[in-house]
Amino acid sequence: MATDAPPPSKEQHKLPSPEEYNEVHQSAEFAELRRSYRSFAFPLTVAFIVWYLLYVLLSNYAGGFMGTKLFGNINVAFVLGIAQFATTFLIAWWYARHASTKLDPKAEAIKTRMEGGA
C-alpha cells in the first residue's frame, strides 16, 4: 500500500548551506559524477535522436527500400519500425544499469555526507 511508510518529505534533514553546495560543486568527486552522467546520457541522446530521424527520413524519401520484402509480407519498413522499439527498450535498460552501478553509489555518498548522515 502506498501510504504505509511515513513520508520522507517530513523528515528533518540538515539542509546544506550555499557555501557547502558550492564546495561540493567544486570537488573532484562531484566533477567525476557529473562527467560519468553527462558522458553517458548526452551522446546516447544524440544517437537515438539521429537514429529516429534517420528512420523518419527513410520512411519519407526511401519508399522503395522500405517496401523491400524480407520474408512473407514482412518488409524492411516493418523490421525497422520494430527495431526502433527494440533500441528504445535496450537504451532504457542500458541507462538504468549504468545509473545504478556508476551513478547511484557516488550520488548517495555525496548526499549522505552533505545531509550529515541524518
Partner 1 sequence: MNSLTTLAATNQASDHRTLIISLFAAFVIATLFITVWAGRQTKDAADFYAGGRQFSAFQNGLAVSGDYMSAASFLGIAGAIALFGYDGFLYSIGFLVAWLVALLLVAEPLRNSGRYTMGDVLAYRMRQRPVRTAAGTSTIVVSIFYLLAQMAGAGVLVSLLLGITSDAGKILIVALVGVLMIVYVSIGGMKGTTWVQMVKAVLLISGTVLITFLVLLKFNFNISDLLGKAAENSGKGAAFLEPGLQYGATGTSKLDFISLGIALVLGTAGLPHILIRFYTVPTAKAARKSVNWAIGIIGAFYLMTLALGFGAAALISQEEIIASNPSGNTAAPLLAQHLGGTDSAWGAILLATISAVAFATILAVVAGLTLASSSSFAHDIYANVIKKGQATEKQEVRAARLATIGIGAVSILLGALARDLNVAGLVALAFAVAASANLPTILYSLFWKRFTTQGALWSIYGGLIVAVGLVLFSPVVSGDPKAMFPDVDFAWFPLKNPGIISIPFGFFMGWLGTVLSKEEPDAAKYAELEVRSLTGTGAH
Per CB under 8 A, residues contacting partner 1 are: 2-5, 7-9, 13, 15-16, 18, 21-22, 24-26, 30, 33-34, 37, 41, 44-45, 48-49, 52-53, 55-57, 59-61, 63, 66-67, 69, 71-75, 77-78, 81-82, 84-85, 88-89, 91-93, 95-96, 99-100, 103-104, 107-108, 110-111, 114-115
CB of 28 to partner 1, least distance (A): 14
Question: How many C-beta neighbours within 10 Å does residue 9 have?
Answer: 5
Residue 26 or 28: which CB sits closer to partner 1?
A: 26
Cβ atoms of 38 and 98 within 8 Å: the answer is no
Residue 111, C-alpha cell as written in the block: 548526499
Q: Residue 114 has which C-alpha cell?
A: 552533505
Please report how close the Cβ of residue 60 comes to partner 1 at its closest, in angstroms: 5
Closest contact distance (angstroms) between CB of 26 and partner 1 is: 8
Separation CA 101–CA 95 (nearest Å): 10
Nearest to 115 by CA among 2, 6, 24, 1: 24
DSSP element (H, E) containing 26: helix 18-26
Rounded least distance, CB 118 to partner 1, Å: 11
